[in-house]
Chain A
Amino acid sequence: MSWDWQVFFQDTGGGQTYFNWMMSAWGWTLLVSACSLVVALVVGSLMGVLRTTPVKAFVWIGNAWTELFRNIPLLVQIFLWYHVIPSMFKSLQQVPDFIAVVVALGFFTSARIAEQVKAGILALPRGQRYAGLAVGLTLPQTYRYVLLPMAFRIVIPPLTSESMNIVKNSSVAFAVSISELTFFAMQAQEETSRGVEIYLAVTFLYFISAFAVNRVAAFIEKRVRVPGMIGSAK
């Protein structure tokens, strides 16, 4: 077998090269990942917090959410948001495919993040919560000023791996024809029959993306470090 990297400079038939297409596909991968990550962090933190509150109903909602979104495969969830929900609610039919994928990937990951955030809050000494309440803070204030600032620092490492997972999981968006990297790989492989070169390039881009996420997270972890706590250098 011989290499043929020229394939990336071929025209796709639409006036752009495969290389250009791949770069725009990379952009879609990053965009889907970034938007999903925002959804996942917001919803996941909320659900994780609900699961640690003393209110039974909140705990139930948080638990139900986690179990629901953790026990259905991502691909099936994407189909749910893409096929099932719009046909049940007419008003949602105009929603672009991109939003469906972001919601699906975001909610799917939020279940995992909820789990991490809950574990982070429970890892704190119980006295912290009592201390917060004892000095007259309300429950939301206790979370905002006492518990969450520490809990989020504890869960940065697992959140980092979840963020890297989001980049990887965004590949499932190929199933609803979002023009991201995996979709590009499948299409370009079919059109050019230079599968190995194309897959290598795409795999490499996934590597870089995940690595970049990892570095950004490491930077954040370093910046928000509390002096004197475990994990801080000095």
Chain B
Amino acid sequence: MNLSFAFIDWNLISSFILKGLIFSVQLTLVAMIGGIALGTALALMRLSGKKWLEIPAAAYVNTLRSIPLVMVILWFFLLIPLLIGHPMGAEVSAMITFTVFEAAYYSEIMRAGIQSVPRGQVAAGYAVGMNYRQCMQLIVLPQAFRNMLPVLLTQTIILFQDTSLVYAVGAYDLLKGFEVAGKNFNRPVEMYLLAAITYFVICFSLSMLVRRLQKKIAIIR
């Protein structure tokens, strides 16, 4: 078969693909910000030393980490409408799912980050009269974030790749955009190939940037 890309013009890109790209980026950003916030809270719970906080947080993280993401997406798509009583769009459902799911992974990264801060730092904080909250907010978390920044960003690249799995509930993301365009122009093969190239270019350049950042941070430390 001969591949032909002649049918691709700006009109196609803007009407099919950009729409999907925008949703994928939105979903990634929402899940990243929400996931890191929730994940940090979970990490703090697990390191709090209080059993009633540790156990639920550990259960949350371990459960979500042992279920395939596609199943989690399906679960939420099924359960949220049952709980709130009316159907919910696949896009909003995906945003909630990814935030909740990624929080489990970000929480493990943040836990490692917090543990990488020397104990003396906490002791020093308490010694100058800070309380737990101040100690975490002003001393531990900023360092944990900086140490873990490359890992958090790498996880975000994985998250961006995983957003393609909203395919399972039919949300309109970047991959879907290519697929719909391929169906409309009867050129599915070219469109899948272009989808792969697009994802590769985005993820590869982002991971190069992360690598550069990692080198910079390594020098500061």
Contact = CB atoms under 8 A, between A and B. Distances in A.
Contact of A80 (B71, B82, B192, B204): B192
A199 B164 contact: no
A182 interface: yes
B89 to A, nearest CB: 18
A75 B164 contact: yes
A76 B68 contact: no
A186 B168 contact: yes
B23 interface: no
Nearest to B188: A83
A71 B195 CA distance: 12
A73 B196 CA distance: 8
A195 interface: yes
A87 B189 contact: yes
Contacts of A210: 66
Given A72-B200, A79-B195, A186-B168, A206 B78 contact: no
Contacts of A84: 189, 192-193, 196
B70 interface: yes
Given A71-B207, A76-B175, A207-B66, A202 B192 contact: no
Contacts of B189: 83-84, 87-88
B66 A206 contact: yes
A1 interface: yes
B68 A67 contact: no
Contacts, number: 104
Please report whether the interface of chain A is mostly helix, strand, loop or mixed according to DSSP. Answer: helix
A1 B75 contact: no
Contact of B68 (A87, A186, A195, A206): A206
Interface string A164-177: 10011111101100
A1 B196 contact: no
Given A67-B204, A73-B175, A182 B188 contact: no
A83 B190 CA distance: 10
B157 to A, nearest CB: 8
Given A71-B207, A72-B203, A186-B74, A168 B67 contact: yes
Please report whether the interface of chain B is mostly helix, strand, loop or mixed according to DSSP. Answer: helix
A189 interface: yes
Contact of A199 (B66, B78, B167): B78
Nearest to A77: B196
Interface string A159-193: 00000100111111011000000100110010000
A203 interface: yes
B161 interface: yes
Contacts of B68: 167-171, 182, 206
A1 B75 CA distance: 16
A185 B74 contact: yes
A87 B189 CA distance: 7
Given A75-B165, A182-B71, A189-B78, 12 more contacts: A71-B161, A71-B200, A76-B164, A83-B188, A90-B1, A168-B66, A182-B70, A195-B78, A199-B71, A199-B74, A199-B78, A202-B71
Interface of B: 1, 3, 66-71, 74-75, 78-79, 82, 157, 161-162, 164-165, 167-168, 175, 188-189, 192-193, 195-196, 199-200, 203-204, 207
13 contacts: A67-B207, A68-B200, A73-B165, A79-B192, A80-B196, A88-B189, A168-B68, A170-B68, A172-B70, A189-B78, A199-B74, A203-B67, A206-B68
